[in-house]
Structure 1
């Protein structure tokens, strides 16, 4: 099979981790190739995510690289065993590689932490809110329909049993920015409260009065792996997304997110009785904005 021209994030991550382990073990590409009866070019392609590594070959490499038994070893073995097939495959004709990678990252994460400063997170959007966002792409209606359907299908991770633990911190500005009609906004805000009823969902609002903080200006998501060493951070940018895999970088964003949760209003708790609210919290702010629209 020829090398892939567009490796998925899962393939790239497995290759990057293998390269890191090989270099840490002090082995050359030729030495690694000898372990799996291959040439150096194949090892290079494996480490770039362009070709698969057989499960038994991966096992040999991990042992030779000194990777101990545990979450990292098991996580890397699972990456190789998983062929990456999922519901997102049916969108390959319309969605670009980064969007497909996002769906796969969400689907395979052990937990997700998400910060959004400008819009409601895609995974929490109603179909009509999502369409209003997608209409800014200036695409044909048929294309927009697929974009919206893709965004709705991403929400499967919250609806399945057990659902993926999900924690979002949303800027107050994102809740106040009108997307579509006032009616669309009211239904979107009501949807946030409904989703927050799920036991595995935590929703907080970062209010204007919290003041400036260095982490509030950028949209990012942290996708938990079977071990923190396999966490992934996805940064949203104007024309593309960036992926961070280095453990020091992913840990830094984990600390930023923790600080955001500390500065944000208390989580939405739809089960709390109105008289139990002794101060401003995320739920009362969202309810207020529903009526403001």
Structure 2
């Protein structure tokens, strides 16, 4: 079978974990290849996600590398045996890879934590608010592209609204006050945010202006938990797309960031009260 031209994020992550397994054992690619019956080119392609391996080959590699982390090995075996395409593949011809990989990460996460500073998290946006967020892009997008992106974002939300994946959303007060699409869109969004916060599996916590120091980065963050901690992933939104981090040091750093946010954010009840008060301000000011 020829190498994959465009391995998915999960396929690349499998390769990354196999590389880390090899490096922890102190092997070079050639040495591992000799031990498991692969040539150096195959090892390189495996670690880049361009070729797949069997579960039996995974166990052979783990044994050769003296890896006895059974939960990790079982989780990697789960990636190998995944079949079928995710719903996001239907958008591959119309959206960039960044969009698809965000949906892929979310769909395989066991839990999600987000932190946003300038808008309501995408997983909790109303259709009108999401459309307004995409409308602000410069240079302006064609209407059909805005509609596609909005539909994609709304479909992503089924993951948390169904209760399948727990969501913790930390939202800075600034994001509650930033307008996209006008006061009516914002007021409706804040109303929907309160309703979402009352659903099982969705926690909304506000970080108020009164907090002395904002914990964490100014960018919007998502921490996606995997079936084992080694397979957690950090997503960072940047101006021209998204960045993903999975190095152990990055994961440890962002676990600490979210722990700080958890200790500094308002309680769920106090957060709802603040959201309601902001909504009332918006309605009174622009009535």
Specify if TM > 0.5.
yes
Matches within 5 A, 1:114-263: 114-137=114-137, 138-160=140-162, 162-263=163-264
Among 256, 266, 291, which residue is 2:280 paired with? 291
1:265 counterpart residue number: 266
C-alpha distance in 1 between matches for 2:47 and 2:170: 35
Structure 1 residue matching 2:249: 3-state secondary structure: helix
RMSD between aligned residues: 1.7
- CA apart distance, 1:257: 0.9
Structure 1 residue matching 2:256: 3-state secondary structure: helix
2:64 counterpart residue number: 64
C-alpha distance in 1 between matches for 2:202 and 2:146: 28
Task: Work out whether residues 119 and 175 of structure 1, in 8 Å CA contact, stay in contact via their aligned partners in 2.
Answer: yes
Structure 1 residue matching 2:160: 3-state secondary structure: helix
C-alpha distance in 2 between matches for 1:84 and 1:10: 13
Structure 2 residue matching 1:44: 3-state secondary structure: helix
Structure 2 residue matching 1:210: 3-state secondary structure: coil
Number of aligned residue pairs: 280
Structure 2 unaligned residues grouped into runs of 5+:
283-287
C-alpha distance in 1 between matches for 2:60 and 2:174: 52
2:285 counterpart residue number: none
- CA apart distance, 1:152: 0.5
Runs of 4+ in 1 over 6 A off after TM superposition: none
Structure 1 unaligned residues grouped into runs of 5+:
269-280
- CA apart distance, 1:46: 0.9
Structure 2 residue matching 1:241: 3-state secondary structure: strand
- CA apart distance, 1:35: 4.9
- CA apart distance, 1:65: 1.7
C-alpha distance in 2 between matches for 1:33 and 1:70: 22
Name the stretch that deviates more: 232-241 or 78-87.
78-87
Q: Deviations over 1:157-195 (max 9, x none)?
A: 1133x4211101001001100111211111111111111
- CA apart distance, 1:9: 1.8
Structure 1 residue matching 2:7: 3-state secondary structure: coil
C-alpha distance in 2 between matches for 1:125 and 1:41: 45
Q: Deviations over 1:199-228 (max 9, x none)?
A: 111110110011223515121111101121
Task: Work out whether residues 110 and 226 of structure 2, in 8 Å CA contact, stay in contact via their aligned partners in 1.
Answer: yes
Q: Deviations over 1:245-270 (max 9, x none)?
A: 112211111111111121111114xx
- CA apart distance, 1:113: 0.8
